[in-house]
Amino acid sequence: MSNPPICDYEGSDYQASFWEQGGRAYEDAAEGVALRRLLPARGRLLLELGAGAGRNTPRYQGFERVALLDYSRTQLEQARQRLGSGERYVYVAANIYRLPFAPGLFDAATMIRTLHHMAEPERALAQVRQALEPGAVFIVEFANKQNLKAILRYGLRRQKWSPFSREPVEFTELNFDFHPRAVRAWLKASQFSAQRQLTVSHFRMGFFKRLVPLRLLVRMDAAAQLTGNWWQLSPSVFVRAQAVGQTPRPQPGAFFRCPACGEGLPEAGQNLTCPGCGAHYPFEDGIYDFREQAT
């Protein structure tokens, strides 16, 4: 099966240029509030999809272990420098459309600022569901097509696309805004049950961030987030969903699975060779690399 195009942050200084130097303290803090409200207080094993340089990973302290997945190896190298190389973290470079994990392995997952890069979001969500055990919690964030700014621009005829239609809008290459109803439909089709929605980053405008102190702005956003089950008009929406239906049990001793043939593989801390198809996956500097298989 062919893979959709990938938005690759290889070699990017995204963490430094966008988050640390880009005036995004408000957005980061608002997302932290949403995660505290939606994520279980504790758990066994969490899958962080689109982990990047590990910006959100310290917020998952209630989990015994965290697997950080990103397509970019350099982003994972930055995360490892920030978080360390202890047994609590597993660093995995992989394609989200071919996740290399044993089925039903995780009891929670997050996907923050990642779905909006998916040309085939429903296919990505189906892969996430396979990696989760029944009842697992999945926190997914998406860029909201139906935000208030887009509605006003459409009403003033300053943009052609409608914020009310369900189809995605690609505002730049591999950057998509999605309609909330479409995302809920994809989650349902992928065997997730949406439980709660929070609207986030209501005040993502320069004049708000210049005029209102950060702590007050975050408190204002925290209050506005609670309207998320009623309407979704903010640029970012968080959804807490639960995995429903059944998932095959992992093979004994399997942590990974070969993305080429599906054969179970251990978490060995070394290079892996699939006994089923012979594909080889390197383990270098603490990072498993499943992006390309070599025979």
Do residue 117 and residue 31 come from a single domain?
A: yes
Which CATH number fits the domain that encloses residue 155?
3.40.50.150
Q: Are residues 36 and 162 in the same domain?
A: yes
Lowest mean pLDDT across 172-186, 188-202, 215-229, 245-259: 245-259
Domain count, the chain: 2
* Within a domain: 8: no
User: Could you tell me if 24 and 130 lie in one domain?
Assistant: yes
Is residue 5 domain-resident? Answer: no
Answer yes or no: is 101 within a domain: yes
Q: Can you give the chain as a three-state secondary structure string?
A: CCCCCCCCCCCCCHHHHHHHCCCCHHHHHHHHHHHHHHCCCCEEEEEEECCCCCCCHHHHCCEEEEEEEECCHHHHHHHHHHHCCCCCEEEEECCHHHCCECCCCEEEEEECCCHHHCCCHHHHHHHHHHHEEEEEEEEEEEEECCCHHHHHHHHCCCCCCCCCCCCCEEEECCEEEECHHHHHHHHHHCCEEEEEEEEECCCCCHHHHHHCCHHHHHHHHHHHHCCCCCCCCCCEEEEEEEECCCCCCCCCCCCEECCCCCCEECCCCCCEECCCCCCEECEECCEEECCCCEC
Domain-located, residue 260: yes
Question: Residues 213, 179: one domain?
Answer: yes
Q: Is the pTM of this model over 0.75?
A: yes
Confidence check: pLDDT of 254 > 60: yes
pLDDT: which is higher, 292 or 160: 160
Regarding whether 246 and 259 lie in a shared domain, the answer is: no
Q: Which domain holds residue 144?
A: 14-250
Residues 150, 94, single domain; the answer is yes
Residue 9 lies in a domain: no
Q: Are residues 142 and 275 in the same domain?
A: no
Same domain for 182 and 52:
yes
Mean pLDDT of 166-174: 96
Whether 261 and 243 share a structural domain: no
In a domain, 3, yes or no: no
For the chain, what is the mean pLDDT? Answer: 96
